[in-house]
Amino acid sequence: MRMLSRFLPGLLCLCLLFGLPQAVQAQDDPGQPLLEALDTSSYADKAEAIEVIIESGDERSRRWLEALLNGKLQRHKDNQRFVIVLENRGRHWPVADALSFEEAGEMSRRELDRIGINNALRGTLQNALSLLDLYVDDADQRRDAARDLLGNVDASMVEPLKAVIENEENAEVRRLLSQALAIYRLDQGDVEAIADLEGSLNQQVRSVLNSAARSDDPVLADAASAALAGIEQKLKLNQGLETLYFGLSLGSVLVLAAIGLAITFGVMGVINMAHGELIMLGAYTTWGMQQLLPGQPGLALVLSIPAGFLVAALAGIAIERGVIQFLKGRPLETLLATFGVSLILQQLVRTVISPQNRTVVSPEWLSGSVMINEGLSLTLNRLYVLGFALLVFAGLMLVMRKTRLGLEVRAVTQNRAMARSMGIRATRVDIMTFALGSGVAGLAGVALSQLTNVGPNLGQNYIIDSFMVVVFGGVGNLWGTLVAGLSLGVINQVLEPWVGAVLAKIIVLVFIILFIQKRPKGLFPQKGRAAEG
């Protein structure tokens, strides 16, 4: 006991020495009085304390207010230390110091007093957090915060928002904040606020204007109705642009599916009914690459581009060597034979893989959409497919215009007998041409795997449309295939909402039949000796 009494004063001094710096640091921290102002029973005083925290510019403000909103800002009953509860489960909660955010171990929930709020303060805090986001450096975050304020502005936020608008450099953020203020003013009956809402496609703005259009005040109702009429016209324009975009994306798929057919049909005069199954093989190659590289859909998709081309090209060579070379000059028998090949390939896939459809996972960079405005967004997968189709088209044009193979293909297309007499091996050209056209069909399958499920009947949905594109654009003409594919895609997309998918296809087919009656060689007929053949 004597030893304990001798060392006890020393131990107390050591405890004071170690605890004193922390206490002094807390008292010197400018955040301490800000938090202490929140620890009051008066909700009015708490509201004032929240405004002071916002205006303080302290970078810790957001975390404090979020903790207060979620009921996690609490104070120790004995040492009056402010802490943030990290997880409120069980009897002992892990906490962090509210000033330094350093973990402070666990505390019993009985040792803590929660800084309580009511519903009014909860709304104030939500608005306060939005106001805090308006001061961050990231323009996208400020824009999202400004959009969240639409319809949520109250009287206490008017002056702070005006100050933010004056200092805001981003035009989009300024516009959204001005609309948020205008909605508040319109709710107060200010007719002039409608001028700031004209042309906005935001759903919240349209809802407020609809309410104003039913107002008992005739001036306010007329002004709101006029603004709504302008917005409706703008919405129709955006819907038209969206339809055009979907039509072009559908057309790009038709171009990919038809462009390989245009090459083989133009050079060899072969009606290949197995072309759709070559598309299917490209799609299954993409699915197979994802099975080889699980968890890496982006890498699998990139590797599927050369793999899909190679698989379809090899299958095309096998079809040409095994069937088509023995039936040259007999188009009807070639059509029947390739139709039989298509059935064999479908059954082969059903037997080896499965008759059920397979889903190909799209990578993150293909997911989501690009928002042009609040009434128009473009899905990324269709945007990438459109760009991919144009790249494939440009690559084929370079091959046909700048390589020896392209020169020989054009020579055989124009006059096979003359090309043979000039030393061109027409048989080799046929093989390479069929491989090239089949490979491009495989690329179409890779693209289609990002838009739809992969199944044995995938190619059957595009074979007829592909032939229509080739005939409409002009046999063997790549530019004609591009224009025809994109045109038919847009026409289909425009007609479908009006008459349905089936009737739309029938109308397109009748249109092409009538068009071919007037222009038998399509939009872009071949010239020279090729046209004579």
Asked if residues 134 and 164 have their Cβ atoms less than 8 Å apart, the reply is yes
pLDDT value at position 26? 53
Residue 458 domain boundaries? 237-370+377-532
pLDDT band at 17 (very low <50, low <70, confident <90, very high): very low
Measured at the CA of 103, the angle between CA 101 and CA 105, to 5 degrees, comes to 145
Structural domain count, the chain: 1
Q: What is the dihedral of CA 121, 125, 126, 132, to 10 degrees?
A: 160
Q: When comparing pLDDT for 533 and 365, which is higher?
A: 365
Residue 8 has pLDDT above 60, yes or no: no
Query: pLDDT tens digits for 66-102?
Result: 888 888 888 888 888 889 988 877 788 898 988 888 8
Q: Classify 105 as helix, strand or coil.
A: strand
Residue 405 lies in a domain: yes
pLDDT value at position 285? 93
Write the CATH number for 321.
1.10.3470
- Length in residues, the chain: 533
Residue 67 lies in a domain: no
Asked if residues 275 and 441 have their Cβ atoms less than 8 Å apart, the reply is yes
HSE-up of residue 217 (Cα within 13 Å, Cβ side): 12
Q: What is the dihedral of CA 421, 424, 426, 431, to 10 degrees?
A: 180
pTM over 0.75: no
Residue 89 lies in a domain: no
Residue 213 lies in a domain: no
- Parallel, antiparallel, or unpaired for β 369-373 and 112-114? unpaired
Residue 323 lies in a domain: yes
CA distances from 186 to 45, 149, 163 (A): 30, 15, 20
Section 351-356 average pLDDT: 87
- Helix, strand, coil fractions of the chain, as percent rounded to 5: 70, 5, 25
Q: When comparing pLDDT for 336 and 461, which is higher?
A: 336
Mean pLDDT value across the chain: 82
Asked if residues 377 and 492 have their Cβ atoms less than 8 Å apart, the reply is no
Name every residue whose Cβ is closer than 8 Å to that of residue 63 and which is 6 or more positions away in sequence.
84, 101
N- to C-terminal Cα distance for the chain?
119
Residue 98 lies in a domain: no
Residue 456 lies in a domain: yes
Residue 533 has pLDDT above 50, yes or no: no
Residue 445 lies in a domain: yes
- C-alpha–C-alpha distance, residues 288 and 308, integer Å: 10
pLDDT band at 214 (very low <50, low <70, confident <90, very high): confident
pLDDT band at 323 (very low <50, low <70, confident <90, very high): confident
Q: What is the 3-state secondary structure (H, E, C) of 192-234?
A: HHHHHCCCCCCHHHHHHHHHHHCCCCHHHHHHHHHHHHHHHHH
- In this structure, the number of other CB atoms found within 10 A of the CB of residue 12 comes to 10
Q: What is the DSSP letter of 454?
A: B
pLDDT band at 20 (very low <50, low <70, confident <90, very high): very low
pLDDT value at position 369? 81
Query: pLDDT tens digits for 144-180?
Result: 888 888 887 877 778 878 888 888 888 888 888 888 8
Residue 23 has pLDDT above 60, yes or no: no
pLDDT value at position 286? 93
- C-alpha–C-alpha distance, residues 6 and 455, integer Å: 87
